[in-house]
Chains A and B, each alone.
Chain A
């Protein structure tokens, strides 16, 4: 006699039902996960009192000090509102911001976003369209005061604006004057001079110091910057005038060849060197040359963090080949945008206006360890900022007032950049030739374009 109350047929029926529900669930999940594309009305406030309102910010980890320690107390003093700051590692920032909105969690009001992740964030419906609000209130926001070199690249996508510039990141070349004097070399103006100086210091120092620090960890924010700095130096661009990939140009080949050739003179080994190793080596006096972000000037002069205070200098990025005009690149760079999931839209609008205004930009870009660089002309040209960055002021001004190379920022740009650095690493590692690597990267970019 069959006494089972859970016969096989019944079990199959239940499993069938469960399978159907499971199959349907992703569809339902997908339906619920499409992001909104709300626009901020032009009447949204530029300032106000926000007692009892706590704004939640998801920010790039190195920016925590600027928000938590510098801006939060002043925001509370000015408006009564509070800031709750959550840091994310730079390589997870964009994905966490997308997931916050897409998952329906909607925990954050404001995103401190990478400009080259802008396309992906907009594609995900994670950023509020600020076009009307900014256009209507351009004068009060002081739009004309933002540096022209970064305002559009950081905030504009397909004719719409999604944020206000917060951190104007460019690279310049820092050098250790003590090592230069000790080993009798001159500050380099060209990449060839850079090579010669690096080789002499590394050889003469016999392991006590290295001529060059080349940041080459295989992520766009690190190896991408090192390659693009050389690309601009040799007069190249990532895209040609028609917007097509130009990764196999003569300048591009020269830039990558330089990265490969400098390795023997560099702090071992470039592909292992990230921010921490590079900064530590330079600030401890182990390395003589480092192309990095301009806020290194504040760190280098801070005796609590630096052993080379007063013994460093800064130059524009070197030039090479037939190019004789120094040019920097917008390596990283951040804007402040409003999450489409925010429930505090008015306070968020007022905050991004306040945080990117000149007094606040002056404050954060003059604070050592805040990791913020000027986004406004009046800050860049101010005596106060010049006083804190000391010897770096001329190359910083030259870079931000020039026409820096802009990284791609359309949807999918982070993948293009990762594909590029993967190929660069294979060339530096000796697994492929320079030409083969750049050809592969070019094909990957062309494939994405079609």
Chain B
């Protein structure tokens, strides 16, 4: 006999879904299809005009490519570095230890504070790193002064901040690797690399690939450090998509319609890339299984 479940028990979930998913999505689409400013949302239906304006903005289209490149690079690097750190920590024992706790500091620091700290360190005059460079005879140290340099610096800061997250998950994942299998492989004469690929990787791959997906999404969402450190500059060099959308909607133009169109395009790009990554992950997990 099946027990009847009262229908109203689904109400909180449905209400949550409507409030936090359906309503914002419908509102966003409505904004994107209408002339909407911060002051007057949903004024006149304009069809795809906002999408044309989105791509006419000089910073937006390039920002999609830059955001994707940035997200992929930082996701790969943070995941690999995180795995490396986790393996080193595991080598010391089962506990995360003081060293592990210290490694987490960048992760638990507010992104704005991270930005302020790095901005002070990187200041070309009076900055800590500039002082060290000058002492070493390397005058003119100013990586934020060039477009490529500024983007690389933002990437390094992001990696510095988010590698501990990958390390934390990888450390937990390594805990499920059965020591007796590792020991057997060693006894059978397998090299450390062979042991890793045959014994360790199959056990941790699902977790690691999940981390990589999360790091990818986090990389796409980078915003705070851009605002604090570069404000999208020099020029548009570090104007990644979230920053461009923020500028369109809330700084200067208050053009919520175009900002909504940019958000939808950006969401589509993130969706495509994330879907590709999760598909690859699913195939790899199946293959390993």
Same complex origin of A and B: yes
- Asked whether A429 and B237 contact (CB < 8 A) given A30-B41, A34-B40, the answer is yes
Cβ of B206 within 8 Å of any chain A Cβ, yes or no, is no
- Known A-B contacts A26-B26, A429-B237; the reply to A95 vs B254 at CB < 8 A is yes
Looking at the assembled complex, report how far the CB atom of B210 sits from the nearest CB atom of chain A, in whole angstroms.
29
- The docked-state distance in angstroms from the alpha carbon of A221 to that of B40 is 25
Segment from B73-81, B88-96, B226-234 that makes contact with A? B226-234
A209-237 interface mask toward B, CB cutoff 8 Å, 1 = contact, 0 = none?
A: 01000000111100000000000000000
On chain B, the residues within 8 Å of A414 by CB distance are: 252-254
Most chain B C-beta atoms within 10 Å of own C-beta, residue among A21, A26, A277: A26
Chain B residue nearest to A125 (CB atoms) is B39
Interface residue ranges of A103-148 to B (CB < 8 Å): 120, 123-126
Pick from B7, B59, B134, B145: contact of A422, CB under 8 Å: B59
- Which A-chain residue is minimally distant from B144 (CB atoms)? A272
> How many whole Å from B40's CB to the nearest CB in chain A?
7
Collect the chain A residues with CB atoms within 8 Å of residue B145's CB.
Answer: 268-269, 271-272
Q: Is B194 an interface position by the 8 A CB rule?
A: no
Chain A contacts for B140, CB-based, 8 A? 268
Known contacts A27-B42, A425-B233, A431-B235; A3 and B2 CB within 8 A of each other: yes
Task: For A412, give the chain B residue with the smallest CB separation.
Answer: B253
Bitwise, B102-139 to A at CB < 8 A (1) or not (0) is 00000000000000000000011110000000100001
Residues in B neighbouring A124, C-beta threshold 8 A? 37-40
B254 proximity list for chain A (CB < 8 A): 94-95, 98, 120, 414-415
Which one of A22, A417, A425 contacts B18 once the chains associate, using CB atoms below 8 Å?
A22
Q: Are B251 and A418 in contact, with the CB atoms below 8 A?
A: yes
A25-B23 contact given A34-B40, A271-B234, CB 8 Å threshold: yes
**B22 contacts across to A, CB distance below 8 A:** 18-19, 22
Interface string of A271-311 (1 = CB under 8 A from B): 11000010001000010000000000000000000000000
B125 x A267 contact (CB < 8 A): yes
* B41 and A429 contact, CB distance less than 8 A: no
B39 touches A217 (CB 8 A): no
A99 within 8 A of B: yes
CB distance from B246 to the nearest CB of A (A): 11
Least CB separation from B27: chain A residue: A26
User: Is B30 engaged at the interface, CB distance under 8 Å to the other chain?
Assistant: yes
Residue in A124, A210, A271 whose Cβ sees the most chain B Cβ within 10 Å = A271
A220 and B252 contact, Cβ closer than 8 Å, known pairs A269-B234, A281-B125:
yes
Rounded to whole angstroms, the CA-CA distance of A92 and B230 in the bound complex is 17
8 A Cβ contacts from A49-100 to B: 91-92, 94-95, 98-99
Tell me, in angstroms, the Cα distance from A217 to B17 when the chains sit together: 42
Q: Does A33 contact B (CB under 8 A)?
A: yes
Whether a CB of chain A sits under 8 angstroms from the CB of B58 is: yes
Q: A95–B259 Cα gap in the complex (Å)?
A: 14
> With A3-B4, A26-B27, A431-B235 given, is the CB distance from A268 to B38 under 8 Å?
no
Q: Does B69 contact A (CB under 8 A)?
A: no
A10 to B11, CA, bound (A): 13
Q: Is the CB of B255 within 8 A of A21?
A: no
Give the contacting residue for A426; candidates B17, B23, B40, B235; CB below 8 A: B235
CA distance A415 to B123 in the complex (A): 29
Q: Are B5 and A425 in contact (CB under 8 A)?
A: no
For the complex formed, measure the closest distance between the CB of A155 and the CB atoms of chain B, giving whole angstroms: 20
Say what secondary structure dominates the interface of chain B. loop
Q: Which chain B residues numbered 163 to 216 have a C-beta less than 8 Å away from chain A?
A: none
**Across the interface, do B251 and A14 meet the contact criterion of CB distance under 8 Å?**
no
Q: Is A401 an interface residue (CB 8 A)?
A: no
* B147 proximal to A (CB < 8 A): yes
Contact B39 A269 (CB under 8 A): no
Contact residues in B for A125 (Cβ distance below 8 Å): 39
A120 touching B39 in the complex, CB below 8 Å, given contacts A217-B233, A272-B124? yes
Q: Any chain B CB within 8 A of the CB of A35?
A: yes
The count of chain B contact residues (Cβ–Cβ below 8 Å) is: 49
Do the beta carbons of B233 and A6 come within 8 Å of each other?
A: no
> Is A241 an interface residue, CB under 8 A from the partner?
no
Tell me which residues across on chain A come within 8 A of B7, comparing CB atoms. Answer: 5-6, 10
Interface residues of B in 1-30 (CB under 8 A from A): 2, 4-7, 10, 14, 17-18, 22-23, 26-27, 30
Decide yes or no whether A243 CB sits under 8 A from chain B.
no
Q: Which residues of A contact B2 (CB under 8 A)?
A: 3
Binary flags per residue of A403-426, CB closer than 8 Å to B gives 1, else 0: 000000000101101110010011
- Do A425 and B42 have beta carbons less than 8 Å apart? no
Would you call B142 and A268 a contact (CB within 8 A)? yes
Q: When the two chains form the complex, which single residue of B134, B144, B233, B255 contacts A218, counting CB atoms closer than 8 Å?
A: B233
Whether B278 sits at the interface, judged by CB under 8 Å, is no
Contacts of A356 in B (CB 8 A): none
> Contact: A126 with B39, CB < 8 Å?
yes
CA distance A175 to B126 in the complex (A): 21
Docked CA distance A6–B4 (Å):
10
- Nearest opposing residue in chain A for B139, CB measure: A207
Among A19, A22, A120, A429, the residue within 8 A (CB) of B234 is: A429
Q: Does B247 contact A (CB under 8 A)?
A: yes
| Cα–Cα distance between A218 and B234 once the two chains are bound (Å) | 8
Q: Counting CB contacts under 8 A, is B236 at the interface? A: yes
Q: How far is the CB of B146 from chain A (nearest CB, A)?
A: 9
Task: Pick the residue among B41, B42, B139, B251 that contacts A91 (CB under 8 A).
Answer: B251
Q: How far is the CA of A209 from the CA of B27 in the complex (A)?
A: 53
Complex CA gap A271/B251 in Å reads 18
Smallest CB separation, B158 vs chain A (Å): 19
Q: Which residues of A contact B58 (CB under 8 A)?
A: 422, 426, 440
Give Cα distance in the complex from A418 to B237, angstroms.
16
Contact present for B233 and A99 (CB under 8 Å): no
Of B17, B139, B233, which is within 8 A of A429 by CB? B233
- A 346-375 contacts with B by CB, 8 A: none
Mask: chain B, 248-261; 1 = CB below 8 Å from A; 0 = not: 00111111000000
Is the beta-carbon distance between A102 and B247 smaller than 8 angstroms?
no
- Closest B residue by C-beta to A18: B18
Besides A98-B39, A120-B38, 9 more A-B contacts (Cβ < 8 Å) are A18-B14, A26-B42, A35-B39, A94-B254, A268-B145, A418-B252, A425-B233, A425-B236, A428-B234
Chain A residues with CB under 8 Å of chain B are 3, 5-6, 10, 14, 18-19, 21-23, 25-27, 29-30, 33-35, 91-92, 94-95, 98-99, 102, 120, 123-126, 207, 210, 217-220, 267-269, 271-272, 277, 281, 286, 412, 414-415, 417-419, 422, 425-426, 428-429, 431, 440
Question: What would 6 A/B residue contacts be, using CB atoms closer than 8 Å?
Answer: A19-B22, A25-B26, A268-B124, A286-B125, A428-B235, A440-B58
